[in-house]
Structure 1
Amino acid sequence: MKIVAFGEVMMRLTPPEYKLLEQSSQLDMSFTGTGLNILSGLSHFGYYTSLLTRLPKNHIGKVAAGQIRKLGVQDSNIQFGDQHMGVYFLEMGYGVRPSEVTYMDRSNSAFGKSTLSDYDIEKIVDEYNIIHICGITLSLSKSVKEVAIKLAQVGKEKGKIICFDFNYRPSLNKNINKEEIKNAYKQILPHCSIVIGGERDLLELLNYPVDLFQNLALQFVKEFDLDFFAGTNRGSSEHSQTISGFVVHNEEYVVTTEHSLNVYDRIGTGDAFVTGLLTGIIEQWADKKIIEFAVASSVLAHTMFGDSFIIDKSMVDSYLEGNQMNVIR
């Protein structure tokens, strides 16, 4: 099984030891992005993965490509051009203080300025079984949106599995008409097989009427003829934050148990969920096992520093079996 993801790569800069930016003179640098994070997890689970993106044609782009390879993701579909990469600063939260993300200019990045002519869509689609497209690609620029929709359209025509993550970010859409965003989502969804999202996406982006979420989810799957629709729900108990998951498949709505969270680094945990979800779908597990494995992957991702999921599949299985050891010897 070969998986390719189309999405942006960003530079993440993080002050150490939960410090705020104004408290630190040092920053930890890494390279991240929804597609890369998902592929990293899948490569650690033993699948062949490749990233379809565009990096700056300079030393920063070369370093980023090297880090992508280090995560086990193939770089043969990476293009290079222009000089800029999107950057975000993460001030990690602690206790009751939430984490805070500050984005720098992303629309003028090498990826944000990429166009259809930069990618051989037909060749890429022919080579891969699953194509993942991040929803942020619909918001960055008109040209990137065109690539995402074309990739989904050609993939659907050729019988490929198209996985799409809503991944809606209000901060990226301040200057974009909401109706325009809604139309972009409605253009890509008919070509999709698997969609990751939640209640907010259906209510705020697609303007579904307020109803019991299970009813909305079933309606959404029927409207766009999806194979799977899945996502997570976050909550809290007396002592900790919690997470659970749902999946809609074959007109059935399946939910998981609620898992307590120990949060070290919150960013990228949704991508770990997608890694687990795709693994279960690839392996053709029962729906209950698929969604429990996906949520377990996300739970473990909360305990890791950095966005990319690099935990072995055996550790996810061990967590699900209740084998939570302090030290593995």
Structure 2
Amino acid sequence: MAKIVTFGELLLRFSKLDHMRITQGDMFTSKYGGSEANVAVSLATLGDNVEYITRLPDNAIGHAASQNLMQLGVDTRRVLYGGSRIGTYYLEPAAGMRSSKVIYDRNGSAYYELKPGMIPWREILKDADVLHVSGITAAISQNAADATFEALDIADELGVMVSYDINYRKNLWKYGADARETLKKMLSRCDMMFGDAIEFEWICERKQPPFTAIDSNFEMQMDEYREWFDELHRDYPRCRKWLMGMRNMVASSHHTLTALLWTDGKLLEAPIYDIPDVVDPVGVGDAFMAGLLHSYYAFPGDDNMALNYSLAAAAMKNTIPGDFNLASDDEIMAVVNHQFGLNSLYKTTV
């Protein structure tokens, strides 16, 4: 079984109940999350061998966070402990025409203070098949960014495949680095990647056809997308698989969702999911990424299934509260078979 290592900051999420604003009420609910941890939990739920690397405070909160992932099947034995606090964020859920709001509190966290040389990457990656990172791993502090590129250097040295989620979060880039240039540098080092349509457009500074579907009958402009992806691949030839998630918020609880997968010169188009009862959209991109990584090994060489499976996993995440996608392989495959039928094929443009 392939071994996948994910690396990033584990967070404690505080959310308001019943769509209250942050200024309302006197109670928050708490859950653990964070992009790379979300990917790890999704993979563990699907039965994959996954190890999560981070730095947490050596106190009851830090150990509880690690144990939470361990109970969900993630290997956390080599989590690094030190520092004084865990990073947190506060979520005000969307409602009607009101967008969600996120407030980060990550400065001075155990991960923020991470430095190159602290993590024994050669020991961790010597038997790994994949290292997964995201733009957030480099966004927190200069030291964390340096530690991220240290991991990428050693992964290259050891021949470990790199997967990457753009994960651009404007509010996190406070330490003076150029976010776009840093994330482009990471993109040039990856073998497979995910991003939503807005992140793709931002990092590549190219306009693309808008996704404005209000139901599943929307027609995609595939010729324009194909030219767009071909150009991207010429700029970043190392990356062989590009998965782009596309979501339109018809209303706060009604989203349409689809994806495109560019792989080895082909652009695969997925049907559009119409999701009228969104419960929690946090972590949908991480569910996409986990679906792509899982299907790479579960369905080798079957790019249609990779797209099919990744989209179904992301659609399922919309129905699950919290950051983690706890949908099982059987549940995701049931969605795939219901949506597409056992003998159906994706449309492919060459």
Per the TM alignment, residue 99 of structure 1 is displaced from its structure 2 partner at its CA by 2.1
Counterpart-to-counterpart distance in 2, 1:209 and 1:263: 28
Distance 1:202 1:43 in 2: 27
Q: d(CA) in 2 for partners of 1:39 and 1:52?
A: 10
1:272 has 2:287 as partner: yes
In 1, are the aligned partners of 2:184 and 2:203 still within 8 Å (CA)?
no
Alignment partner, residue 215 of structure 2: none
Q: Which residue of 2 aligns with 1:22?
A: 23
The one of 179, 190, 215 equivalent to 2:227 is 215
Distance 2:228 2:146 in 1: 28
Give the corresponding residue for 2:167. Answer: 167
Q: Aligned in 2, Cα 1:210/1:322: closer, same or farther, shift over 3 Å?
A: closer
Are the aligned partners of 1:53 and 1:111 in contact in 2 as well (CA < 8 Å)?
A: yes
SS of 2:188's partner is: helix
SS of match in other structure, 1:140: coil
Q: Deviations over 1:28-55 (max 9, x none)?
A: 1111111111111111111111111000
Q: What are the within-5 Å matches in structure 2 for residues 1-329 of structure 1?
A: 1-104=2-105, 106-173=106-173, 176=176, 180-208=178-206, 212-224=224-236, 225-235=238-248, 240-261=254-275, 262-283=277-298, 284-322=300-338
Structure 1's unaligned 5+ residue stretches are 324-329
SS at match of 1:191: coil
CA offset digits 1:31-84 (Å, max 9, x no partner): 111111111111111111111100012121111111111221111120011111
For the 8 Å contact 2:13–2:91, the answer to whether it is kept is yes
Amino acid at match of 1:222: R
Q: Distance in 2 between matches of 1:309 and 1:171?
A: 24
| Distance in 1 (alpha carbons) for counterparts of 2:140 and 2:98 | 29
Conserved? CA contact 1:4–1:131, under 8 Å: yes
What letter corresponds to residue 273 of structure 1 in structure 2?
Answer: F
Counterpart contact for 1:199–1:213, Cα < 8 Å: no
TM-score by length of 1: 0.91
Q: Secondary structure at the match of 1:74?
A: coil
- Counterpart-to-counterpart distance in 1, 2:279 and 2:316: 10
Contact 1:269 1:301 in 2 (8 A): yes
Q: In 2, Cα distance between the equivalents of 1:252 and 1:79?
A: 41
Inter-CA distance 209–232: structure 2 relative to 1 (3 Å threshold): closer
SS in structure 1 at match of 2:41: helix
Amino acid paired to 2:133 = I
Q: TM-score, normalised by structure 2?
A: 0.86
Q: CA deviation at 1:208?
A: 4.2
1: CA distance, partners of 2:57 / 2:169: 23
What CA deviation, in whole Å up to 9, does each residue of 1:133-170 have, x standing for no partner?
A: 02111211111111111212221232211001100011
**Are 2:197 and 2:245, in contact at CA under 8 Å, matched by a contact in 1?**
no
Structure 1 residue 215: Cα displacement: 2.1
**1:246/1:309 CA distance change after superposition, 3 Å:** same
Q: How far apart are the structure 1 equivalents of 2:324 and 2:271?
A: 25
**What is the CA–CA distance in structure 1 between the aligned matches of 2:24 and 2:184, rounded to whole Å?**
44
1:241: Cα distance to partner? 1.9
Contact kept in structure 1, 2:200 and 2:244, CA below 8 Å? no
Cα distance in 1 between the residues matched to 2:208 and 2:70: 44
Q: CA deviation at 1:176?
A: 3.4
CA distance in structure 2 between the partners assigned to 1:204 and 1:23 by the alignment: 34
User: Matched residue pairs, number?
Assistant: 320
Q: Secondary structure at the match of 2:311?
A: helix
Distance change >3 Å, CA 91–CA 198, structure 1 → 2: closer
The 2-side partners of 1:67 and 1:298 are apart by 22
Please tell me whether the aligned partners of residues 221 and 248 of structure 1 are also in contact (alpha carbons under 8 angstroms): no
What is the CA-CA distance between 1:129 and the residue it aligns to? 0.9
Which runs of no fewer than 5 residues in structure 2 stay unpaired? 210-223, 340-350
Tell me the distance in 1 between the aligned counterparts of 2:262 and 2:245. Answer: 12
Give, in whole Å, the separation in 2 of the partners of 1:202 and 1:97.
25
The CA deviation at 1:175 is 5.9
Q: Choose 108-117 or 237-246, whichever is displaced more.
A: 237-246
- With 209-218 and 298-307 compared, the bigger mean Cα shift is at 209-218
Paired residues of 2:6 and 2:51 also in contact (CA < 8 A): yes
SS at match of 1:232: strand
Give the equivalent residue in structure 2 for 1:326: none
Q: Which residue number corresponds to residue 327 of structure 1?
A: none
